[in-house]
Structure 1
Amino acid sequence: MRFDEEQLNPAKAAVVVVDVQNDYCHPDGACARRGEDVNAAKEMVPRLQALLAGARAHDVPVVFVQTAHEKATDSAALTVRSGGRSGVVCRAGTWGAEPFEVAPLPGETVVLKHRYSGFVNTRLDSVLRTLRAETLVMAGVSTNVCVESTARHGYMLDYHIAFMGDCCAAFTQAEHDAALVNIDKYFGAVMDADQLLGAWDSIAPRG
């Protein structure tokens, strides 16, 4: 899928950073401890940092969506997922739930979620509508789980989805690649950070 200049207008965009947290990305986090390969998450962080710097330079809002599991939201379906291993990830108030190498600046919004999609039972849609965002620039981990789930949900709420393939990571390359194919075919436009920042610079040069 391709977007035109209006759909990429930075004045109508918001960056949504999903689940870049210690338990998903850090080599001492819960996912690494259970055997998942988190190297791709570590490797993509510099590209994500460049994307966030560019977004902030263009006054594009950045919204951080973070997982926060707690007893009040631990349904039976959630608890048995992955043989119960998911129940220990990103527990509210723990080190594992803290941001990994990227963090919100003062004034940037954090939305806590309890399911794969950042829109389920959260204030994310209200935040984005208040910002008058029409295009969501999606980044984070895991590509094929929470980032894809949030992007697909956003598309079905009538947002344009600009999916940053080089600013997302999954636990395997195959999972990452399959998610990008699916998003680009049905739910949005897959691009890399340099492409998007170049488009923003051509539409609204930085001061």
Structure 2
Amino acid sequence: MRFDVDKLDPAKAAVVVVDVQNDYCHPDGACARRGEDVSAAKEMLPRLQALLAGARAHGVPVVFVRTAHEKATDSAALTVRSGGRSGVVCRAGTWGAEFFEVAPLPDEPVVAKHRYSGFVNTRLDSVLRTLKAETLVMAGVSTNVCVESTARHGYMLDYHIAFMGDCCAAFTEAEHEAALVNIDKYFGSVMKADELLGVWDTAQFG
């Protein structure tokens, strides 16, 4: 679905970076150690870094969302998922929970989440409303899990969704592509980073 350029106004947008963390992306992280292919995360990082640089240059707020599992939020439903493997990923305060090859600037908000959607029992909506964001520029990992869950939730909270397909990664190409089809059909518009940056560089916003 094509995106209305007016909705990409830097004054009304925010970039939301989801779960770009060692346990999900690093070859020594928990997901790689259990056999998941994390190579797509490494491959997309230059495009994500370019997106962040462009957003910052145009004054678009960047919000980092990261998983932080801890005993206080380890429900039975969470800890039994994937045979208990999900509960050991991104434990709060560990190396695995640290950001992977991206990092927030000192004034950029960081939101800790405990479930797939970055909106569930977090301050993300309050942060975005305070920033007066109307459009969420979505990026991160995994495309079909936490990025898609956060984007879908955001859409249902009445945000416009610009989903950066080439700034997301999943453990398989099939999962990645299926998520992009689903988002583009029902929840937002799938775009590429250079397409969005081109709009920010050339479009005239009122």
The structural deviation recorded for 1:3 is 1.6
Contact 1:10 1:204 in 2 (8 A): no
Amino acid at match of 1:58: H
Q: Contact (CA 8 Å) 1:23, 1:30: kept in 2 or not?
A: yes
CA distance in 2, matches of 1:195, 1:184: 16
Contact 1:41-1:168 within 8 A present in 2 as well:
yes
Letter in 1 for 2:62: V
Q: Which letter does structure 1 place at the counterpart of 2:181?
A: V
- 2:143 is matched with 143
TM-score, normalised by the number of residues in structure 1: 0.98
The runs of at least 4 aligned residues of structure 1 exceeding 6 Å deviation read: none
Cα distance in 1, alignment partners of residues 97 and 58 from structure 2: 29
Q: Aligned to 2:138, what secondary structure does the other structure show? A: strand
Q: CA RMSD in A?
A: 0.9
Point out where structure 2 has 5 or more consecutive residues left out of the alignment: none
For the residues of structure 2 that align with 1:68 and 1:112, how far apart are their CA atoms?
A: 6
Q: Deviations over 1:135-193 (max 9, x none)?
A: 00000000000000000000000000000000000000000000000000000000000
For residues 34-93 of structure 1, give each alpha carbon's deviation from its aligned partner in whole angstroms, at most 9, with x where no partner exists.
000000000000000000000000000000000000000000000000010001100000
Counterpart residue type for residue 172 of structure 2: T
Structure 2 residue aligned with 1:196: 196
Shift of 1:203: 2.2
8 A contact 1:13–1:133 mirrored in 2? yes
Question: 1:135 and 1:33 mapped to 2: Cα distance?
Answer: 36
**TM-score normalized by the length of structure 2:** 0.98
- How many matched pairs? 205
Q: Partners in 2 of 1:134 and 1:203 — Cα distance? A: 18
For the residues of structure 1 that align with 2:101 and 2:92, how far apart are their CA atoms? 18
